[in-house]
Amino acid sequence: MSTIKIIYFDLDGGRAEPIRLALSIANTEFEDKRISFPEFGELKSTLPLGAVPVAEIDGETYTQCNALNRYFGKQAGLYPDDAWQAFLCDEVMDIIEDASNAMGKTMGLQGDALKAAREELASGKLASILRLLNKRLEDAGSEYFADSKLTMADLKMLELLGTLTSGFFDHIPTDIVQKQAPLLVTHMQKVMSDQGVSAYYQKRSQ
C-alpha cells in the first residue's frame, strides 16, 4: 500500500479539498498535512513548482490538483469510465481552475487596485464562468455535472462555491453565485448532504 501525504493550507476548502474528500470517501489512509501561510513561505522553495497542493506518494512529490483529482477520483469511484462523461467532468474541473487562477492573480494587490481588479473579475470573467457552470449543470440534468452521479467535478465545485460564498475574497459579492448561477446553490446543498461528504465534515468538526 502506498504512503500518501497531502500538503496544503489549513483550510477546509481550496485546491486540496476534493483530493482530501476523495481519499476520505475511499477510506484511504493519508496524512493530511495542513500548513499555515508563514509555513508555506518557508516551504515554498522546496516544493517542485513552489505551489500547493502537492501529494507525496511513496516519497516522491507530485503536483497539479486536477491530475491528482483524476488519480484519486478513479480510486474512489468518483471519476467516470465513459470518455464523454469523463470529458464533462474534466471540463468543469478545468473551468474552476480558470476561476481560481483569475482570483489568484488579484492576490498581491491592495487598496483601490485590489477593489478595481476584484470588481472587474466579479462582473466579467467570474460571472461568465458561473453562468457557464450553471448551464453545464442544467444540461446534465441539474443534479450532478457528469455520469448522473457524484464525481470529482461536484467535489471541486464545493471548493469554488465555498470560497465565493464565504467572503474570503474582499470585493467579490457573497451573493454572486445566487445571482449568476442559482442552480449551483442547490447543487452545493445536495453535494454537502452526500453520505461520504457529510461524514467527512462531521469528522472534521469533532
Per CB under 6 A, residues contacting ligand GSH are 14-15, 50-53, 63-66, 104
Instruction: Please check whether residue 193 is in contact with residue 143, taking contact to mean a CB–CB distance below 8 angstroms.
Output: no
Cβ closest to ligand GSH, residue 158 vs residue 194 = 158
Q: Shortest Cβ contact with ligand GSH: which residue?
A: 51
Burial class (CB in 10 A: 0-12, 13-18, 19+), 40: middle
- Measured CA to CA, the distance from residue 50 to residue 25 in angstroms comes to 28
Helix (H, G, I), strand (E, B) or coil at 62: strand
Compare residues 153 and 194 and give the one whose CB is closer to ligand GSH: 153
CB of 108 to ligand GSH, least distance (A): 10
Is 127 within 8 Å of 154 (Cβ atoms)?
Answer: no
Name which of 45 and 206 has its Cβ closer to ligand GSH: 45
CB of 200 to ligand GSH, least distance (A): 20
Q: How far is the CB of 101 from ligand GSH (least distance, A)?
A: 7
Least Å distance between CB 125 and ligand GSH? Answer: 17
- Min dist CB 48 to ligand GSH, Å, is 11
In terms of CB distance, is 50 or 77 closer to ligand GSH? Answer: 50
For every residue of 80-107, DSSP letters joined together read -SSHHHHHHHHHHHHHHHHHHHHHHTTT
Decide whether 69 or 134 has the Cβ nearer to ligand GSH.
Answer: 69
- Per the listing, cell 448522473 goes with 148
